[in-house]
């Protein structure tokens, strides 16, 4: 504790602060931010433009007579408004973000610098190829890295997210089956899968069949029940979609046997590679018998995640699937790089386009910058450190929270809610209390194979000090819950700009549109 925090430690506790009422409604430097329309003051403007020269209007009756309703604000008002809004966002740049399955890891600033180089940032996808040779070379080099790291012969770079990569992979599988004259109807998906897996299978017209996981306390617990899988395989199965490491943070160690059974049934083996960050540089998916594998660049290769920004989910493909890869293809010829943009000659069997152009160039630059700055040995260490950090937390928390499955985990550690039994505190309450302690909650209630799941993925970029802080807070919260303080949890968070929200109503009935009060409307007209 430094001098300043020591001086403060005699001040009211967090609980006392909750009841402090301020004159402004602000809480310290947390400003109550009105909507931009509520800050409107007629006549205010951020720019001072000369009068428009008078010109004869040809709009006639179409000419707008009233105001268009934009708020009047000065430049300082606007700058403050958006700066304050940005400060309400929690982000990986603000602190540890332990969301499991989502991999919120540090986005290195070097990647950002590279992505802003004008030669990458200011080009247009419709420019003649002779003027974008460097960008095409970058795409080709990224493809080379992805193929080398996965051991697969081809990669489709255009998918815009993991889920889009799944769509691409299953569409190529369907095309390959049709090319064999072997139309099939079912896709098998383990119960622990991310929701996008069954959604993809259903969206591509397949019947989805769930495969159970081995129950807690049984052999290979938390992993796919291989006997149940084999029983469901048959001549109508198009593919298995398996995640490895799986969403319980466990390596599916029977994967070779699984791949062999899937292939024996004439089906393809799709692997959800969202968790590649746990094995990159150590295991090549091709050697596990995988036919198609998507990679979320934001998870493994540190591109920005969240905020609905542009994503990238390249899919690596086995030789039989490669001819069906989506357009465009970047190829290397005698005169440098070129593009195949139409379904003809070598690309005659493509599934077509999944996206307007090549994919998310900005993400490609960032991912390649990450790969090149780490090198293959550095990427291997990334995976090792991600696994080490998750296991460090597993051991630090084992006595306080209930591990879903015993033994070493991969890049994320899964707890169930049995440590909260009889406390009156739910997983949801527990996660909300974590916000008051200055941490973003972990992933809750996923995967579904575990009751009240709490899934923590610290990532490799967290230091031992930050992991110790998180572990101390989680241990403290678990102890407090067990000591019978359920009421404090039920109303958490207490220190945020808004308290506990009705999240179902927020999701189902979101208020997304500002409507002027009736009086203001009349004045505007
Ligand atoms: C296991 C798994 N599969 C698929 C996805 C979907 O990826 P995206 O969100 O990029 O569409 C995720 C996302 O976190 C995931 O964790």
Ligand 1 in reach of 101 Cβ (< 6 A): yes
Which helix or strand (DSSP H or E) is residue 204 part of? none
Nearest CA to ligand 1 atom 13: 102
Ligand 1 in reach of 389 Cβ (< 6 A): no
Average pLDDT of span 440-453: 96
Nearest CA to ligand 1 atom 14: 102
**Best probe residue, ligand 1, of 296, 310, 360 (max atoms within 8 Å of C-beta):** 296
Ligand 1 in reach of 311 Cβ (< 6 A): yes
Averaged pLDDT of the chain: 92
Q: How far is the CA of 163 from the centre of ligand 1 (A)?
A: 6
Best CA proximity match to 279, nearest among 192, 405, 154, 387: 387
- Could you give the 3-state DSSP secondary structure of residue 378? helix
Q: What is the pLDDT of residues 153-185, one digit of tens each?
A: 999 999 999 999 999 999 999 999 999 999 999
**Best probe residue, ligand 1, of 161, 189, 196, 313 (max atoms within 8 Å of C-beta):** 196
Q: How far is the CA of 10 from the centre of ligand 1 (A)?
A: 46
Placement of tokens 């004008």 in the chain:
118
Average pLDDT of span 367-374: 98
Residue 192 bridge partners (DSSP): none
Ligand 1 in reach of 328 Cβ (< 6 A): no
Best CA proximity match to 475, nearest among 399, 406, 422: 399
Q: Where are the alpha helices (DSSP H) in 28-161?
A: 75-88, 109-115, 118-121, 133-150
Calpha distance 151→317 (Å, rounded): 10
pLDDT at 3: 40
Ligand 1 in reach of 189 Cβ (< 6 A): no
Please, are residues 40 and 71 in contact by the beta-carbon 8 Å criterion?
A: yes
Calpha distance 267→358 (Å, rounded): 29
Residue 74, phi then psi, degrees to nearest 5 = -85, 170
- Could you give the 3-state DSSP secondary structure of residue 159? coil
Q: What is the pLDDT of residues 44-103, one digit of tens each?
A: 888 888 988 888 889 999 998 888 888 999 999 999 999 999 988 898 999 999 999 989
Write out the E strands in 282-389. 292-294, 315-317, 329-333, 336-340
More confident residue, 367 or 17: 367
- Could you give the 3-state DSSP secondary structure of residue 246? coil
């Amino acid at each position: 504790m430094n001098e300043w925090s020591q001086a403060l430690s005699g001040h009211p506790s967090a609980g006392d602060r909750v009841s402090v009422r301020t004159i402004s409604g602000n809480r310290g430097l947390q400003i109550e931010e009105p909507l931009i329309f509520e800050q409107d003051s007629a006549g205010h403007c951020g720019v001072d433009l000369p009068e428009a020269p008078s010109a004869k209007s040809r709009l006639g009756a179409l000419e707008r007579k009233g105001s268009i309703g934009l708020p009047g604000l000065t430049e300082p008002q606007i700058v403050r408004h958006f700066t304050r809004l940005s400060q309400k966002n929690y982000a990986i740049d603000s602190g540890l973000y332990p969301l499991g399955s989502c991999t919120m890891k540090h986005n290195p600033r070097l990647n950002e610098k590279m992505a802003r180089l004008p030669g990458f940032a200011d080009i247009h996808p419709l420019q003649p190829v002779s003027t974008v040779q460097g960008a095409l070379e970058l795409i080709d080099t990224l493809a080379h890295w992805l193929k080398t790291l996965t051991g697969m012969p081809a990669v489709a770079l255009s998918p815009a997210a993991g889920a889009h990569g799944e769509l691409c992979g299953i569409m190529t599988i369907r095309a390959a089956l049709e090319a064999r004259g072997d139309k099939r109807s079912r896709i098998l998906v383990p119960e622990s899968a991310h929701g996008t897996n069954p959604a993809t299978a259903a969206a591509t017209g397949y019947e989805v069949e769930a495969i159970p996981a081995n129950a807690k306390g049984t052999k290979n617990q938390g992993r796919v029940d291989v006997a149940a899988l084999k029983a469901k395989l048959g001549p109508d199965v198009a593919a298995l979609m398996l995640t490895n490491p799986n969403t319980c943070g466990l390596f599916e160690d029977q994967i070779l046997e699984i791949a062999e059974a899937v292939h024996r049934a004439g089906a393809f083996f799709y692997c959800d590679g969202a968790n590649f960050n746990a094995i990159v540089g150590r295991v090549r998916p091709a050697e596990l018998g995988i036919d198609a594998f998507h990679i979320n660049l934001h998870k493994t290769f540190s591109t920005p995640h969240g905020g609905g920004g542009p994503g990238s989910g390249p899919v690596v493909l086995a030789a039989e699937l490669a001819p069906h890869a989506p357009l465009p293809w970047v190829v290397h010829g005698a005169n440098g790089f070129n593009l195949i943009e139409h379904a003809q000659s070598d690309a005659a069997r493509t599934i077509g386009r999944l996206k307007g152009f090549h994919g998310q160039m900005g993400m490609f630059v960032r991912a390649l910058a990450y790969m090149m700055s780490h090198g293959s040995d550095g990427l291997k260490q990334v995976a090792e450190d991600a696994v080490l950090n998750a296991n460090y937390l597993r051991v630090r928390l084992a006595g306080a929270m209930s591990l879903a499955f015993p033994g070493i985990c991969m890049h994320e550690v899964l707890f169930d809610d049995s440590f909260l039994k009889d406390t009156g505190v739910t997983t949801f309450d527990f996660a909300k209390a974590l916000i008051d302690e200055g941490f973003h909650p972990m992933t809750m209630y996923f995967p579904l194979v575990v009751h009240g799941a709490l899934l923590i993925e610290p990532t490799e970029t967290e230091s031992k000090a930050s992991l110790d802080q998180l572990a101390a807070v989680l241990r403290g919260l678990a102890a407090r819950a067990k000591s019978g303080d359920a009421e404090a949890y039920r109303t958490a968070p207490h220190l945020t700009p808004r308290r506990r929200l009705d999240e179902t109503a927020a999701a189902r009935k979101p208020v997304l549109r500002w409507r002027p009060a009736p009086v203001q409307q009349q004045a505007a007209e």
